[in-house]
């Protein structure tokens, strides 16, 4: 059974702080790693999809890196704002399947 | 831009009743996925369809069935409902199957249907 783990489970930071969290996954049969942002009462919003070892993606103040050899991805938020408060989910897709394996999510709360 | 539409958004049923959830994918998307998210849990994959054929199956109970129609919308049919079926049910769509050798199309999620079984 493939397991995708995220840490920390929850995080409180002050407005303006930079933060990062981790998604760990088995590297066998890796195809792609997806990051989603999920606000309460809304559906998950796609942030990044990464496929190559060493990939780095950036969207505004949010960026992500990927290491497929050791099986982890980092998500960074620079200068956190209250509107960044959400759950950040990573999802693994593997070769030959049509499903994602979701991590447990990191719940971020940015305090004004 | 058009998004994934799910209906109904909320549904309350009694034990042993049946329920049908509907999902309308983003236009041109040919693949739909169903996920179940129980309280405090991460989403669990149930089933997916590509071009109206079942493409993958996850932890979907035998009491549930699903299909994709010619207009690409999908329905999840749930029978003999149990209390444990209370959850948020998400549908997602993509243009081509995730995991195919030559594409990384992202799954786009609908707002979910919250099912409560009393």
- From chain B, the residues in CB contact with A99 under 8 A are 33, 45, 48, 56, 58, 98-99
A44 touches B: beta carbon within 8 Å: yes
d(Cα A22, Cα A7) in Å, to the nearest integer? 5
Quick one: average pLDDT of A75-104?
A: 88
pLDDT per position as a tens digit, A4-14: 999 999 999 99
Region A60-65: mean pLDDT is 96
pLDDT of residue B100: 46
**B96 in reach of chain A (CB within 8 A):** no
Among chain B residues, CA nearest to A105: B42
Residue of chain A minimizing CA distance to B41: A104
CA of A22: how far to CAs of A4, A65, A91, A109, A110, in Å?
A: 10, 10, 12, 16, 18
Tokens at A42, concatenated: 């809304």
d(CA B54, CA A24): 29
pLDDT band at A98 (very low <50, low <70, confident <90, very high): low
Tens of pLDDT, residue by residue over B73-90, are 999 999 999 999 999 999
Q: What is the pLDDT of residue B1?
A: 65
Beta strands A62-67 and A72-77, pairing class: antiparallel
Residues in chain B within 8 Å Cβ distance of A68: none
Q: What is the pLDDT of residue B38?
A: 87
Q: A87 touching B, CB under 8 A?
A: no
Probe site for chain B from A5, A31, A98 (most B CB atoms < 10 A): A98
CB contact under 8 A, A104 and B111: no
- pLDDT computed for residue B101 by the predictor: 46
Which pLDDT does position B34 carry in this prediction?
A: 94
Q: Which residues pair with B35 in a beta bridge?
A: B45, B90
**pLDDT tens across A20-53, in order?**
999 999 988 788 899 999 887 778 899 999 989 9
Q: Is A2 on the interface with B (CB under 8 A)?
A: no
Q: Which residue of A has its CA nearest to B34?
A: A99
Please tell me the predicted confidence (pLDDT) of residue B103.
57
pLDDT at A58 > cutoff 80: yes
- Give the residues of chain B that fall short of pLDDT 50: 99-102
């Amino acid at each position: 059974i493939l397991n995708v783990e995220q840490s920390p489970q929850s995080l409180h930071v002050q407005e303006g702080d930079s933060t990062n969290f981790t998604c760990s996954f088995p590297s066998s049969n890796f195809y792609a790693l997806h990051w989603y942002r999920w606000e309460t009462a809304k559906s998950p919003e796609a942030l990044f999809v990464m496929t190559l070892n060493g990939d780095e993606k950036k969207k505004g103040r949010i960026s992500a890196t990927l290491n497929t050899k050791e099986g982890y991805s980092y998500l960074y938020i620079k200068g956190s704002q209250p509107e960044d408060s959400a759950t950040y989910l990573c999802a693994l897709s593997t070769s030959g399947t049509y499903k994602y394996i979701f991590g447990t999510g990191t719940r971020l709360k940015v305090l004004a | 831009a058009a998004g994934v539409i799910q209906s109904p958004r909320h549904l309350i049923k009694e034990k042993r009743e049946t329920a049908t959830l509907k999902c309308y994918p983003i236009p041109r998307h040919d693949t739909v996925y169903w996920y179940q998210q129980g309280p405090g849990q991460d989403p669990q994959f149930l089933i997916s369809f590509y071009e109206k054929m079942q493409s993958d199956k996850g932890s979907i109970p035998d009491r549930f069935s699903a299909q994709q129609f010619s207009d690409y919308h999908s329905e999840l049919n749930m029978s003999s409902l149990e209390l444990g079926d209370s959850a948020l049910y998400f549908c997602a769509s993509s243009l081509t199957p995730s995991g195919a050798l030559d594409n990384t199309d992202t799954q786009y999620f609908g707002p979910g249907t919250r099912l409560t079984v009393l």
